[in-house]
Structure 1
Amino acid sequence: MHRILVLTAGGLLAVGAALLPTAYYQNIPTARYVTASTQPGTESVSCSGQILAFDRAETYITSPVVTGDVLVEVGDQVAAGQVLCTVDLPATGLLMTSPELTSDFLKSYLENPETSSLESLLSASSLGEQSVQLAAAPEYASAINGTVTAVNLQSDSLYNSSQAAIVVEDLSELRAELYVPQAGVAGIEPGDKVLIQGAGITGEISGEVVSINPSAMQSLQNGALQVLVPVQVRLTSDSKGARPGYAVTAQILSRSSTDGLFIPYQAVCQDEENQEYVWLLSNTGAAVRQPVTTGEETAEMTQILSGITAEDIVLIGENLQSGQPVRLEGYYEG
């Protein structure tokens, strides 16, 4: 009996010794690994601007006229060549040749054009049959297909204004015009990514730089002179509620001349003191905590400004501890 017990105990020790490496191995934390990739670095340029329609046509009437019919109102869809308004040329002629008559005779003509003929009004003004040369056209038409967004005149009334009489805008596609301080425009190129925000806009609009104005403009703000360069931007996402005329702020992500190291953002950790760090694999196969300084972030990657090199093996896993061995499960694919 004693011999049997000894053999049994020996057998248990042998089994335990065989199982010990397996249990120890199973308790080692696992991680995937990745190495930093080199990508072109970027610099962010802050600026402001406005949302604009894809195209805009403003109808100006450069001389005083008496309007005939205004044929559109705000919100109407019009086609290129469609008549927007007409001019009453006889009444306008009277206005041009004898302005002192406008208070009485012109009012009478507008109220009763059938009974108050131009000839009688001209005769009353001692102008007789004198011919009248008018700068105004008999009618004004839209230059583009679009939506009427402003009407600043009325039918059968005197119009004498420097503002656009009627505005038509093509709202099929929006764009943005940004005003970049001269110190930040040097690194901006067509194709650079733009992120746009503003009041009344749901979320963030993405865009792309189309062109940079060859000349700058000067603006006086709070008593200080600012030199700004207009930059045209094509929207590459949904407008998210933006309308022409909205004021916006933007970040232009210009490509810098230096390259940067990027790793998946899941590899970057942060402790209670807000120190950012990553886990590296040491030569002995253990995890090592390494503080890093981060830069810009993209949708999937974080730029590392200092702390690691392109040769370091970065670990992505849970429950990692400094100095503890790590089992590698494979390359991190994101």
Structure 2
Amino acid sequence: MKKYITLLIVTVALITCSALAPGIYEQGIPKVDKTAPFAGSIVTTVTSNGIVEGSKMSVIMLNVPVMIDEILFEVGDKVEKGDPLFTVDRDATVESIARGAGELEMLSEYRDILSDRGLSGSTYEEIQSQIDEIIKQQKAVQMNLLPKTITAPMSGKIIESKITDYTLNSANQSLITIMDGSQMRVRTEIGEDIISQVEMDMPAVISGTGFKGKEFSGTVTKIYPTASEVMGTGMPGKAVETLVDINNPDESIKPGYSAKVEIVTDIGEDIMIVPYEAVAQDEENRQYVYILKNGFAFKQYIITGREGDDGIEVLSGLQYSDFLMLNPGAYTADYLRIKVRGE
């Protein structure tokens, strides 16, 4: 009798285990989310910061010193080529230069004293330089090189003036700067580690905090032949100065503004892309995915290319019809049983 009871208990236990086994097995199968490759575009850029400046400017300098009679402009004014900018007080200029004759005599005597005593050096050279300048000024006046009215050599906006009233404005020094506002550029520095990606005539996108939310297209127009130390960053390294012309700038862009430059170095169109979350990397830095098929996930190594905001380019190893496991980094087996959520 005891044997029949024991057999009955064992039979019931086996039946119970058989009934529970599928559920227990199902609980051990990982549940995963899936994705698939898609066709898209990836734009590769090199980003740097720089300063806006005019690419076409004219600096007015005179080869003789002048006293100003009347200033006919203000900084910020727009002028056309040939517009009068200021007039020269010839009489005051000649008188001021004539006063230099007495200074010339005094300097010449001092120079001669130094020479007689056999002294030379920076002091002597400085005096001689002053003498030469005064003689040059006197000769210019004698040759009637003193202009009456100074006009704009080009059309544009006056962005700087160093003219002074009631004092002699020195020769060969900047008096007025005129800039053509329709021709602007960004002067930027690109790190030596990425400059090899940049080439002449590459397109760029230019933005900045002072641009009122606007973005402008641009073009790389000059890459300097040498690198220099990056100044003011607090970090070691060298960079290459690069000029990027701004296409169709408007009044929202001003010289001296800081600017962000994104140079487009490569564009991949209609290429296979997979989300970053579908790609893992093993200890040998090989990238792989898991392809989902018939309730299993099969490990597949892939070769990748460009990286973009939406994912990474796949050069080989996949087809558009493949479904992939998301977040595969927790698994290393060649294949495993899985269950896709929602299926």
Determine the structure 1 residue equivalent to 2:243. Answer: 232
Determine the structure 2 residue equivalent to 1:311. Answer: 319
Find the aligned partners of 2:295 and 2:342 in 1 and give their Cα distance. 6
Find the aligned partners of 2:241 and 2:290 in 1 and give their Cα distance. 46
Find the aligned partners of 1:205 and 1:284 in 2 and give their Cα distance. 50
SS of residue in 2 equivalent to 1:171: coil
SS of residue in 2 equivalent to 1:50: strand
Identical aligned residues as a percent: 18
- Structure 1 residue runs of 5 or longer lacking an equivalent are 1-30, 103-130, 271-276, 317-321, 328-334
- The letter of the residue matching 2:51 is Q
- Residue from 247, 255, 259 that aligns with 1:244: 255
Please list the CA deviations of residues 1-39 of structure 1 after superposition, one character each: whole Å capped at 9, or x if unmatched: xxxxxxxxxxxxxxxxxxxxxxxxxxxxxx9965456x7
Determine the structure 2 residue equivalent to 1:160. Answer: 170
Determine the structure 2 residue equivalent to 1:180. Answer: 190
Deviation at 1:199, TM superposition (A): 4.1
- Residue from 213, 221, 232 that aligns with 2:231: 221
Could you tell me whether the CA contact under 8 Å between 1:209 and 1:231 is conserved in 2? no
Report matched runs for 1:96-245 at 5 Å: 96-99=97-100, 132-133=142-143, 135-155=145-165, 157-160=167-170, 164-203=174-213, 205-216=215-226, 218=228, 221=231, 228-236=239-247, 241-245=252-256
- The letter of the residue matching 2:340 is Q
Deviation at 1:58, TM superposition (A): 1.6
Could you tell me whether the CA contact under 8 Å between 2:182 and 2:250 is conserved in 1? no
Could you tell me whether the CA contact under 8 Å between 1:36 and 1:309 is conserved in 2? no
Deviation at 1:193, TM superposition (A): 3.8
Change over 3 Å in CA distance of 1:137–1:184 after alignment to 2: farther
- The letter of the residue matching 1:153 is I
Change over 3 Å in CA distance of 1:278–1:182 after alignment to 2: closer
TM-score by length of structure 1 reads: 0.56
Could you tell me whether the CA contact under 8 Å between 1:84 and 1:142 is conserved in 2? yes
Whichever structure has more helix as a proportion of its residues is 2
Determine the structure 2 residue equivalent to 1:51. Answer: 52
Find the aligned partners of 1:161 and 1:314 in 2 and give their Cα distance. 77
Determine the structure 2 residue equivalent to 1:120. Answer: none
Change over 3 Å in CA distance of 1:161–1:184 after alignment to 2: farther
- The letter of the residue matching 1:79 is E
Deviation at 1:81, TM superposition (A): 1.7
Could you tell me whether the CA contact under 8 Å between 2:206 and 2:218 is conserved in 1? no
Determine the structure 1 residue equivalent to 2:340. Answer: 324
Please list the CA deviations of residues 210-255 of structure 1 after superposition, one character each: whole Å capped at 9, or x if unmatched: 3223533645736999754332213358769432111334343424
- The letter of the residue matching 2:319 is E
Determine the structure 1 residue equivalent to 2:26. Answer: none
TM-score by length of structure 2 reads: 0.55
Could you tell me whether the CA contact under 8 Å between 1:177 and 1:233 is conserved in 2? yes
SS of residue in 2 equivalent to 1:186: helix
Change over 3 Å in CA distance of 1:51–1:80 after alignment to 2: same
Change over 3 Å in CA distance of 1:158–1:40 after alignment to 2: same
- Structure 2 residue runs of 5 or longer lacking an equivalent are 1-33, 104-140, 279-286, 325-337
Change over 3 Å in CA distance of 1:92–1:200 after alignment to 2: same
Determine the structure 2 residue equivalent to 1:87. Answer: 88
Change over 3 Å in CA distance of 1:296–1:93 after alignment to 2: farther
Aligned residues: 255
Deviation at 1:326, TM superposition (A): 9.2
Change over 3 Å in CA distance of 1:236–1:146 after alignment to 2: closer
Find the aligned partners of 2:307 and 2:341 in 1 and give their Cα distance. 31
Could you tell me whether the CA contact under 8 Å between 1:95 and 1:101 is conserved in 2? no
Deviation at 1:133, TM superposition (A): 3.0
Find the aligned partners of 1:99 and 1:73 in 2 and give their Cα distance. 31
Find the aligned partners of 1:136 and 1:288 in 2 and give their Cα distance. 89
